[in-house]
Amino acid sequence: MLCLGIEGTAEKTGVGIVDEAGNVLSLRGKPLIPEKGGIHPREAAEHHAKWIPRLMAEACRDAGVELGEIGLISFSRGPGLGPALRTVATAARTLALSLDVPIVGVNHCIGHIEIGRLTTGASDPVSLYVSGGNTQVIAFNEGRYRVFGETLDIAVGNMLDQFARESGLGHPGGPVIEQLALKASEYIELPYSVKGMDISFSGLLTAALRKMEAGAGLEDLAYSIQETAFSMLVEVTERALAYTEKNQVLLCGGVAVNRRLRDMLREMCQEHHVEFHMPPPEYCGDNGAMIAWLGQLVYRYRGPDALEDTTVVQRYRTDEVDVPWMRESEA
Ligand code: ATP
Ligand code: FE2
């Protein structure tokens, strides 16, 4: 049975088709690039409304199937921007009703982890999920994916994006900052903030912007932001590893494509004789295949959702979700 997954928690629309065995038959996405400023929830919703039908058609064409051959619809229920989530849920319900197939609503963060496990072969990792909207260290413990550490304010990707925007580097900031950092000549001291298992990036952002206004070079700042922020991420991941005694690390989310972060995390893993895993880049950021694959897992273990249970959950916590397939692998 084929599952078509629709993603749209933030500004990227994604559609993917995945079969029961976990073969990804298609993966189509379209990001909304704002002309200036940040992402407006309503604009994200309009973007999804415009792109979902087109991406669905393209995904079917890529997979070589007709829409009528889809047996299950999966969509991201949350966490995310309200208007964006509602557009995705409406599209998913309409599709499920018109095709007369079952529907499941799934947790976006767990989607990142499950596509990571599927594409890397990691079985039970400590996951570092870093994106524009989320920064969490997650591991399976006592029946659930638990959040062992997270940002207390903004996500690391959001911090990179805000710095880039305020310094005229455009959006998204992550890739530009990564390139600039390669040309740096010196490290500029910035606030390093780890509180127990949690981290904070807003002080670092403010300090970096002040130094930029005071004339510090953008290359040096980009480098220093990366070194400081990524060291914080590596430290909390290392702590979660020690606490959970797991022997695998999975890096996922849009920021995971950053080479420097990858190298730092890989080095820490080597020191601890722990496996380091990272999905191929096309599965790091938000995508429809992760929603389709998680849909397959949820449907297999829990069955379909009743239509009245397909409401969106803006603050859908990772540890609210039952993950019976993990309990089974634990047994
Ligand atoms: P989520 O809904 O999970 O929060 P998102 O909407 O932020 O996801 P993603 O595609 O997962 O979407 O991630 C986008 C983020 O990744 C942006 O903040 C962007 O700056 C960052 N990013 C992309 N490429 C790089 C890179 N090379 N280095 C660092 N950050 C990057
Ligand atoms: Fe995401």
- Window from 27-36, 174-183, 236-245, 281-290 with minimum mean pLDDT: 27-36
Q: From the CA of 11, which ligand is nearest?
A: 1
Does 126 appear as a known binding residue? no
Q: What confidence score (pLDDT) does residue 328 get? A: 73
What separation in Å is there between the alpha carbon of 213 and the centre of ligand 2? 32
ipTM of the modeled complex: 0.98
**271 three-state secondary structure:** helix
Residue pair 289/5 in contact (Cβ under 8 Å)? The answer is: yes
Q: Which of 11, 4, 7 is nearest to 89 (CA)?
A: 7
Helices 108-120 and 288-302 meet at what angle, rounded to 10? 100
Does 13 score more than 70 pLDDT?
yes
Q: What confidence score (pLDDT) does residue 43 get? A: 95
Q: Whose CA is nearest to atom 3 of ligand 1?
A: 131
In the chain, ranges of CATH 3.30.420.40 domains: 2-113+283-330, 124-281
Does 263 appear as a known binding residue? no
Mutate to test the pocket of ligand 1, among 255, 287, 312, 313 (most ligand atoms within 8 A of CB): 255
Does 15 score more than 60 pLDDT?
yes
C-alpha span between 310 and 90 (Å, rounded): 9
Does 40 appear as a known binding residue? no
Q: Which residue type is seen at 120?
A: T
| CA 48 vs CA 10, 30, 56, 90, 240: distances in Å | 9, 9, 11, 11, 36
Q: Using the atom order of ligand 1, give the atom closest to the CA of residue 10.
A: 6
C-alpha span between 106 and 89 (Å, rounded): 11
Q: Which of 164, 318, 165 is nearest to 252 (CA)?
A: 318
Token pair 């820490």 is at which residue?
268
What separation in Å is there between the alpha carbon of 129 and the centre of ligand 2? 8
Q: Whose CA is nearest to atom 13 of ligand 1?
A: 254
For 235, the token pair is 């430290």
Q: What confidence score (pLDDT) does residue 37 get? A: 67
The CATH classification number of 2-113+283-330 equals 3.30.420.40
For 234, the token pair is 């590596």
What separation in Å is there between the alpha carbon of 155 and the centre of ligand 1? 10
Ligand 1 cavity residues, CB under 6 Å: 9-12, 131-134, 157, 160-161, 172-175, 178, 253-255, 257-258, 285-286
pTM of the model: 0.95
Rounded to an integer, the average pLDDT of 116-121 is: 98
C-alpha neighbours within 13 Å on the C-beta side of residue 274:
26
Q: Which of 11, 171, 158 is nearest to 87 (CA)?
A: 11
Q: What confidence score (pLDDT) does residue 308 get? A: 95
Given 3-state DSSP classes, what are the helix, strand and coil percentages for the chain, each rounded to the nearest 5? 50, 20, 30
**Beta partners for residue 28, in sequence order:** 15
C-alpha span between 122 and 114 (Å, rounded): 10
Q: What are the helix (H) ranges across 192-258?
A: 202-213, 218-244
Q: Report whether CATH 3.40.30.10 matches the domain 124-281.
A: no
**Beta partners for residue 194, in sequence order:** 199
* Residue 35's pLDDT band (cuts 50, 70, 90): confident
Token pair 């980009």 is at which residue?
222
Q: What confidence score (pLDDT) does residue 34 get? A: 77
What separation in Å is there between the alpha carbon of 112 and the centre of ligand 2? 7
Does 330 score more than 80 pLDDT?
no
* Residues with Cβ–ion distance below 5 A, ligand 2: 131, 286
C-alpha span between 50 and 76 (Å, rounded): 17
Instruction: Encode pLDDT of 255-303 as tens digits.
Output: 999 999 999 999 999 999 999 999 999 999 999 999 999 999 999 999 9
Instruction: Encode pLDDT of 299-320 as tens digits.
Output: 999 999 999 999 999 999 999 9
Does 331 score more than 60 pLDDT?
no
